[in-house]
Amino acid sequence: MTFHSIAQETIAVDECIIQKIATGFEFTEGPCWHPDGYLLFSDIPANKIYKFSSGKVEVFLDNSGMIFSDSSLLSDQVGSNGIAMDLDGNIVICQHGNHAIAALDRFGHISILANEYEGKPFNSPNDLIVRSDGSIFFTDPPYGLKEQVLNSSAFQPHSGVYLYNEGTVKLLSTRLRYPNGVCLSMEEKRLFVSSNHPDEPELWQFRISRDGHILDQEIFVHRNADGILCDIHDNLYLATHEGVVILSSAGEHIASITLDEIPSNLCWGGRDHAVLYVTARTSVYSIENLWKPNKL
């Protein structure tokens, strides 16, 4: 496999600037801006996490989602997926092949935070979001399992949305058969969960209490999305087959941005967290001057 940074491919779309900053990967996912000033992202089939810094790409973590060799019950999507930072500066990782949520500390030590529910391993933790109190919300679809279907004899009998907090795992919902992207509203009172499965065009909104109880729930929009992201005005950014789709806090369409490849996930980063980073199949993109907060 070869990959390289790209600096010359810059396209202006209205006021935003789109750059393909790196390419040559197998399937990129889970972008996360590290507070030390660089971007991390997963390559799921390659089982690696990469680091993009100062225009250069390097392997950050090998065996990022699976550390053992028996993949007979798994799909080819064995690596890490979603990545986030916790309150202590640890890198929290969704691991498909290990069926786990893991934490990588600043010394390079990896520990498993959670890898089972009610005595059975998770399917393949997909995406996650860390709340301001340190709680972790994550999704667990079967995309990492063989033929990407549930295997209740070995793993969970359902796909789930979970809450992890101080060693305890709570199942919040089994509404979606393929729960995927997850994000919180800015005030952290609403949890959004998407499905990207064509038979399940749904993005759900859950109103949640601080102790993790669901107060009410409804379909926010009938639309597929992979990764999802909020801005400071609770507008939603969706990684879809149409490109990056931006919705208002009421679910109304604001804009769409088409990329050369289908996006998979998104995160804010760069100076003042004003740059939108997008993973998209074999490449990673940055989008600058995009819907600045004073224009929303």
pLDDT (mean) for 85-113: 97
**How many CA atoms, within 13 angstroms, populate the side-chain half-sphere of residue 72?**
2
Spell out the domains of the chain, with CATH numbers in brackets.
4-272+280-295 (2.120.10.30)
What pLDDT score was predicted for residue 2? 42
With cut-offs at 50, 70 and 90, classify the pLDDT of residue 15: confident
Give residue-wise pLDDT tens across range 205-237. Answer: 999 998 888 999 999 999 999 999 999 889 999
What pLDDT score was predicted for residue 12? 41
**DSSP per-residue string spanning 44-102:** TTTTEEEEEETTEEEEEEESSS--SS--TTB-S--SEEEEEE-TTSPEEEEETTTTEEE
pLDDT over 80 (residue 27): yes
pLDDT (mean) for 64-69: 90
Please report the sign of the dihedral spanned by the C-alpha atoms of residue 276, residue 281, residue 284, residue 289.
Answer: negative
Of 118, 242, 224, whose CA–CA distance to 176 is shortest?
A: 224
Give residue-wise pLDDT tens across range 132-160. Answer: 999 999 999 999 999 999 999 999 999 99
What pLDDT score was predicted for residue 271? 85
pLDDT (mean) for 236-251: 95
pLDDT (mean) for 197-201: 97
